Structure 1
Amino acid sequence: MVFVGSVSAAMPALAANDVCAQPPMAEILPELVINMRQDIIRAAKTGDMEQMQYVVEQNEVLPIAKFNAAQDANNSPLVAWQAQSQDTDGLYILAQMIEILNLGFAKQALIAGVDLYTWPYFADQDISQLCPTELVDLLTISSPQAVKQMQQIRLYTGFQLAIGSDGSWHYFARKNIVINK
């Protein structure tokens, strides 16, 4: 079969319940957030975890690398990220940063005058209620098995990244982790 013109013209229309609102994309972010996001992506694309150190050092306070754990104020989050990188010398973490920052974001008020921009946009949503396009986004950063587990507990348990409207990088960590005992 040969397609002439737009492939989407040959596709059937989606039912109303198959379409969900598109998350905001990076073009509408405040300039300081855009700059930090670009710095993180640029450093991650080098494949060198040490390049991320320069981005981390732009903050007054180190970004959180692991929730619910004591983080030494003098210890770079790179140590924690490398420990979580599944024996890839940090490459898995760098890849996750890139993929997550290529998704949409959610915005919430942090303190007066400062908003927090969080990736991925569905991080605080009920994962069992995601529409098909949101599930595709989730599957770009999670395995099908992980998605099934998240749907069962209704929480996103993957990595999240947050940048304040002042350009400060708040965290790249996993939240909502449920430990089976």
Structure 2
Amino acid sequence: MLRRLILLAIATSLVGMPALAKTVRTDTIRITPLEPPASGEIPKAAENDISLESAADQEDAADDSVVKAEDVPAPQVLYDVTALPTPVARMHDQLLEAATSGNIERLRMVLESNEMPPTLSLTEIVDPIEFLKESSGDPEGVEILAILADTLDAGFVHTDVGTAQEMYVWPYFARYPFSALTPEQKVEMYRIVTAADFAEMETFGVWLFYRVGIGKDGTLHYFVAGE
């Protein structure tokens, strides 16, 4: 029930978004350049052109940052957690131990030991454990612990190697092209989500269920669902 509510809320927020404008053919108009002012200041029209060009560049960069799973090549899927860097392995083990304990307060200690508060929601929250309890299908937060445990037991990927965003991401489906999934991989995936959940995510081309991201220094960056 929790999974479908998450996906339904995300899908609802996307309904009604304006369609992209159609491309309109334009003709080039040759304009005789003006003589530069003696003061060396940039003419007003030129300043506006620079501002518009800068805004267009920023918009293109923002568009490029949103990458659907279908737009990237299939990354290498990893399963051997013993090969993880020591700080990453330590955080992974602490999270998994807290998740399988059945006591969500055990997770509080792990979160508070983190270098920075991890992202648990796409909106602002006050108390992380209370938020996770509210997100769970039961009042004690056991379901959310089970989701965390299943996520950490799945295969993972090592992303953005050599950059400031280098990270280990569970499950690998969050960074894997859906069209490249084999029947065996779909069996792995259906241990985390239902076929109905996946059908909804496939519509948007992105993984919308829970995922975990741990930096190479062992910092937990997120345990979050949504886009």
TM-score by length of 2: 0.62
**1:136 aligned residue (187, 194, 202):** 187
Equivalent residue, structure 2, for 1:56 = 111
Distance 1:82 1:128, change over 3 A: farther
Contact 1:109–1:115 (CA under 8 A) maintained in structure 2: yes
Distance 1:110 1:65 in 2: 24
**1:29 aligned residue (70, 84, 89):** 84
**1:91 aligned residue (142, 145, 149):** 142
Q: Which has the higher helix share?
A: 2
Equivalent residue, structure 1, for 2:223 = 172
Structure 2 residue matching 1:118: 3-state secondary structure: strand
Equivalent residue, structure 2, for 1:102 = 153
Structure 2 residue matching 1:123: 3-state secondary structure: helix
Distance 1:21 1:173, change over 3 A: closer
- Once the two structures are TM-superposed, the CA of residue 106 in structure 1 deviates from its matched residue by 1.3
Structure 2 residue matching 1:170: 3-state secondary structure: strand
TM-score by length of 1: 0.76
Of the two, which has the highest radius of gyration? 2
Q: What is the alpha-carbon root mean square deviation over aligned residues?
A: 2.2
Contact 2:75–2:176 (CA under 8 A) maintained in structure 1: no
Distance 1:128 1:88, change over 3 A: farther
Equivalent residue, structure 1, for 2:121 = 66
Structure 2 residue matching 1:141: 3-state secondary structure: coil
Which is worse superposed, 76-85 or 35-44? 76-85
Contact 1:63–1:77 (CA under 8 A) maintained in structure 2: no
Equivalent residue, structure 2, for 1:116 = 167
Question: What are the Cα deviations for residues 31-58 of structure 1, in whole angstroms up to 9, with x where unaligned?
Answer: 1111110001111111011010111111
Question: What are the Cα deviations for residues 59-82 of structure 1, in whole angstroms up to 9, with x where unaligned?
Answer: 121111112x123xxx33222211
Distance 1:100 1:56, change over 3 A: same
**2:133 aligned residue (76, 82, 96):** 82
Contact 1:64–1:77 (CA under 8 A) maintained in structure 2: no
Distance 1:51 1:86, change over 3 A: same
Contact 1:36–1:169 (CA under 8 A) maintained in structure 2: yes
Q: Which has the higher strand share?
A: 1
Question: What are the Cα deviations for residues 105-161 of structure 1, in whole angstroms up to 9, with x where unaligned?
Answer: 111237746621110012023324422122111101001211221223222111001
**Structure 2 stretches lacking a partner, 5+ long:** 1-73
Percent of aligned pairs with the same amino acid: 28
Structure 2 residue matching 1:157: 3-state secondary structure: coil
**Structure 1 stretches lacking a partner, 5+ long:** 1-19, 177-181
Question: What are the Cα deviations for residues 3-46 of structure 1, in whole angstroms up to 9, with x where unaligned?
Answer: xxxxxxxxxxxxxxxxx987212122111111110001111111
Contact 1:84–1:93 (CA under 8 A) maintained in structure 2: yes
Equivalent residue, structure 1, for 2:102 = 47
Equivalent residue, structure 1, for 2:177 = 126
